Structures are given as C-alpha cells and as structure tokens.
Chain A
Amino acid sequence: MAIPFSYTAKNLLARRLTTLLTAGGMALVVFVFATVLMLQEGLRKTLVETGSPDNVVVTRRSSGTEVQSGVDRTQAGVVESQPEIALGADAQPMLSKETVVLITLPKRGADSPANVVIRGIGGKGKALRPQVRIVQGRMFKPGSAEIVAGSSIADRFEGANLGDNLRFAMRDWTVVGVFDADKTGFDSEIWGDADQLMQSFRRPVYSSIILQLNDMSRFDSLKTRLEGDPRLTVEAKRESVFYAEQSEVLANFIGYLGLTLSVIFSIGATIGAMITMYASVANRTAEIGTLRALGFRSRSILTVFLAESLLLGLVGGAIGLFFASFMQLLTISTMNWQSFAELAFSFTLNPAIVAKSLAFALFMGLIGGFLPAMQAARMNIVDSLRAP
C-alpha cells in the first residue's frame, strides 16, 4: 500500500528554511543550465536560420568566411551563367554578387568599438532573403551613397539610425532605412550597393556570390561543375550549411563551457539535496518505524523519500526555469570568432529546453535522494521505534 502524497508534500513544508535553501541551490543550477541551452538555441536560431536551404553561397576555396573570400569579376561571370540558377519574375537570374567588409563603429553608450559587417548587395540581394523587411524609411537606391542598417545595428551603434550619416572609406553614407531580418544574422549587418561600396573600398573583387537554385536537388550538379571548372577557384555551399559553420566555434565554446559548469554546479546542488534528505531521514527515524509497524512495506518508505527528493528537485527546477524565462528579454552581442564580426543574439526558450531543464532537476533530486531513501527503507523496525 502506498503512503499518500500529501505526507511527502507536508514534510517539505514542515521544514521551510531547509526546503527553500535546498531548492534554491538547485534552482540556481537549473537557471545556469537553462540559460546556456537558451543561449545555444538563440545562437542557432540566429545563424542557422540566416541561411535558406535553396540558396547557395559561392566563395573562394577554403576561405571559410565571406570577409576573407575574393571572387574576381571573370569568375563571377562564369558562376552567373550556370543553368541551375532560378530566374526571377523579370527573367533575370536570382543571383547577387556581393562584397562583404568589416568596418569599426563605436557602440552606443560605450567607448569600445566593434566590427560591423557591411554588405554590398546586387539587385536581387533583397529578394534572395525573403525574411528581410524594411521597417523604417526605404531601401537604398542603387548607384547612390545610401545604406540601410539592420535593426540590431540601428539599436546599438552610434550614427546608424534612420537619417544619420556614417563616414567610412572617405565618403559620407546616409542611412535611409532600417530593416528587420526576423532575428537572423542579417540584423547585425549594414547593406549598401555592391558597386558603390567596391569602388569606395577600392576592392576590385567580389566577396561572395549568393544564388537561388531553380530546383533544390540540383545543388550537387552545380557544386561538382563549379568546383571542377579549371577557370574557377571557388567552392559552393548551401547557405544554411555555410552559416551553421560560421557559428560552430562559438556554439561549441558556449556548449562545452555550459556543460562543464552545469556538471560542476550540479555536484554542489546534489550534495545539498543529499544532506537535506539524510537529515530528513534521521529526524524521522521513529516515524519510519511507526509506519513500518503499521504495515507499510519498505518499498513504500523508499518511494516516499524518493518522492520527497524528486519534489524538491521539481520545485528547484520550476523556480530556476521561472527566472531563466526572463532572460528572453535580454539580447547579447559578442564577436563571432570565425567571421570576426559583431553578432547579436538573444536567449530563446523552447519546450525542449523546459523538458531538459526539468529532467535535469529531477535527476539531481533522484541522485541526491537515492542513498538516504535506501537507508530509510532498510531500517530495522524495532531499532527505529526505539530511536529518540
């Protein structure tokens, strides 16, 4: 026969301070655990969803990032003439020859500058990224010294708001619009006309070529032809893969650091739970004896104490998650080591993270409560009844 659940819950309530402290320790661990997962998810969402699977990025072979890449005009022309490229409504190829450079801009409210991506796009550049919408002002006019800023750039950098002037490459550039890219990596970029930017930066080569496939399954034939062409020194990648690779180092770093910390911290919290449960068992020795004498089996005693410990973990997990959910309001910006550019991303909570965090909290409770519960279940009835 099972002992009612209310017995377990009331035991936790009876020692409020101890329950609160133990659950508090676990809550902090779950908070760190959930925050790291949310950060990883936010980074994944930002960078992986930047690329769409039917777009292809062509860069110079083994350059890794667009900034380091260079594709000259002759090679770009060869890429442009491939048959796999989709045609737009105006019967022009859906392809954008882009130039990507970094400039140093001062951050708002801090005197530390950061590297910002300036992307010169071709006529189809915006059409290739359907998630990009102009939210303020208008798109730049091709052939003019006008630029549009991503929403995280406009928020965080000096002189990047609508109507402001930015000076770089010996020219003044007017911000005529602010675009929102639905929390993808483009939000941390400034866009302008590719030819104007190349002229000003005195770069005779494009950085990358973005193109849309007319049929997703024809990627392999395009890749084989481009990379086998002796006139070209390029490599082609699906845009989604390209951006996932950009975030690999940062995502791994956050992942490893977070995992290590969670494991170390959980040792502390598990020990806390163990101490509490041992004390709980020791204080109730006579009670356990009484329960056994009443006819409850040792398995029921084991269940009761395990349930108490699991409940403790659950309470801690719920508190930790509650506070972690507020982290969604924060946006973090840091330099992505691979692209060397500033990247803004936010903490993202999803059901999988909630489930993982609660499972982690219950696991800590289980580990912390197992040994004390075993001790309680193994108690001899007579000895325990004799306990003071």
Chain B
Amino acid sequence: MLKKNSKLIFNIFVLLLFGVAAVFYWNILASLLAGIVFAFILNPAVSYIESYGVSRIISIVAVYSIIILTIFITMIFVIPKVITQGESIFSFINQSEAVQNVMGSTPKVDKNTIQVKTNPIINIYMNYDKKQERFVIDGSEQIINKPKEEIIELQEADTANIAPLTHSDSLKNGSLEKFMEIPILAQVIDYVNFIDDKLTFVDITDEFKKVVEGLKEEIVQVPMIVISNVKKIASTFAFVFMIPLISFFILKDKNLFSKMFNRFIPNRFFELYITITHKISELVSSFLRALLIEIFIVAVLTAIVLTIIGVNYSILIGLLAGFANMVPYFGPFFGVVFAIGSVILTGQDISMIFYVIFGMWGVQIIDNNIVYPIVIGKSTNIHPLYVFLTVVAGGTMFGVLGMIISVPVVYIVTEISKEMYSSLKKYDII
C-alpha cells in the first residue's frame, strides 16, 4: 500500500516536472519540432553513409556539408535570378520616384510618421533609382554619380535633402502615370473612364485615383516594416539557425532519447511502443522526404516549361507552384493561376495563357504518373472534399502556411491513427 502511494506521488511529481518544463521551454517548442522534422528527413541519408563503416558523427557532418554545398550552389546560380525576378516585380509596380512621391502625397500624416519616413536609411533606399542605378537626391533630379562614396553623406543629409522632393507636384503626377501603365490597371482605367463618360452624375475617376494612391502607400510601407521589425527578423534568423543544431544532436543521440522515453513505458506496452514508434518514424520520414523531392521536381519542371513558353518570372512561379503542389487536387491550380497572373500583369500575349495551361497540365501528367508513384509509392487516398475542408480550415487557423501544411499534417495523423489501431488489435489491447 505504502509502495503504491509513493509510486503515485512520484508519478505526480514527474508530471509536474513535465508541466514546468513545458512552460519553461514553450518559446523554443517550434524550433524543437522543426529540428525533429529536419532530423527525420536527414536520418536515412546519415544511416546510408554510416553503413559504409563511417562513424555516425562523421556521417552527420558529411550530410550537413552536402546540404550547405547545395545551398551555396543554389545561392550562386538560382537565388540571384529569383531575387531579380522578385525585385523587378516590385520595381515594375513601384519605381523609385513613386516611392519618393508618396511621401509628398500624404500631407495629412502626423509628426511621428514623418519622423519614421524621413529616417536616413530609408531615404537612401527610396532615393535609389533602379533603372539608372544611381541615387536621386532631390526633386530637380540632380544625380550623384558615385553612389557608394555618397552614402554616408546621404545618411547625414536627413530631412533637409528630402524636403524639396516631398512637395514636388510634377514628380507626383509622373509616378501615378507610371503606376497606371501596368497593363491590367490600364485596362481597368479605360473601363472606368468609359463608365465615367456614360454616367456624368458620378465622379468615378477621382475615387479610383484615390484607391490607387492608397494602394501605392501600402506598397511603400514594405521597407519601413522591414526596418521597424529588425528584432523579429533577428529572432527568425536565430530560429532558423537553431534547427540544424537541434537536429544534429537528435541525429547523434537518437538511441539515447529513445531509451530515455522507454523507461516510462510499462512492460505490458513495451513491444507495442517499439512497434508504433518505428512505424511512425518510418512513415513520417519517408513521407516528408517524398514531399521534398516532389516539390523540387515540380518546381524545376514548371520553371523549365514556363521558361520555354517565355513567361516572365518563370523561376519564381516554378518555386511557388512547387510549394503549392503540396496540396493535392487544388495545389496545381495555384501554380496555373500564378503563371496566368504573370502573363496578364506583365502585358504578354494573351494567347500565351493557353500554352501555360497546356504546359502546366503536362507537368501535372508527369508528376501524377511518373514522379508521384515512384517517390511516394502509394496513393494518399484522401477524398477531394476532405482535402478542400482541410485546406479551408488550415487557412482560417494559420493563414497561407496553414493552407499548405494542413493536408500533409492531416494525412500523417490519419496514417498514424490507422497504424496504432492495427497494432493495438494485434497485441489484444483493444
């Protein structure tokens, strides 16, 4: 009796300890989970190298080196292209004069906002003319030819330099015209003007201009948001660097952690625990690996097809389509929508849309009939309605990330439940 009571007290103590630990480590829980997922993905590669008689630590270091090398090569060859494509979208919508101009177009803003907007670092960013690759420092377009040397001077020149520029009306109107040169906007404006002519009693054009101005202001906020959230960005970097560190130790001492958990399992459930953990780890790691490979292949294929067709921003769209492909049934449509959006927004030939649809369809045929069966092996067999509901629920709970991740997570949880049920049956527990 005494022994039973003391065991109960000890169990309560252990539970309390777990509770305190959960509260204490709550902030790094996300990094820990990401680290575990990363370790799951890498484990087979580490084991493969280990099977050649190499020690586990050296195998882990080798796998890490391969990953770093791959990232490095990607950074050299692919990332610059992606960045240029992303940047050109940004500068297409919002060239540097437009950025400068919004500051002048908002006379109603209060003093605090002006202080933020006239921050010297932002001024440098805003005064940089991407087209001419030079710094514009005032409204009369006086140009500095040696930008690098003048950066410090620009930093010192705070509101004084920007003052004449903020009240330049000619630049303000010029930027609005450029903004309205975007093909889709131009078409909309034509349509608005047409309605405006017909309905003389309503002044739509002015209202529309106000909306466009508002939109432009939102875009200009982007660099400011980046600067005012330096702390958050730094913590994100810390999060990203913690993941490889955590997964390194999980990979190295995999058996140690498994042994530690094993001590808490009663003898009756010991074999069941081993069966279930093995099946879960095998399922999760193979599924995650397959998903990564599929994303990579679909992204590369889409980028190649779109480049051949001649769609602008093909690599960027390829990457987006690869990630969107994680969602079965609906994911591929996102890729098509991105590509069509690019064709329309950049004013390319409308007939190109058909080529895009056929090209992306081809990618899907390859993915569904060659890549998916080889990489994932068996069909995930989730009903389209279930997928749709999961995507919507994930979207409302966690936004875009939720939409993408919810389906794989739900699939894994369903499969684990199935495995657990069959194992419990085999051991006569249920």
- State yes or no: do A and B come from one complex: no
A contact residues vs B (CB 8 Å cutoff): none
B contact residues vs A (CB 8 Å cutoff): none
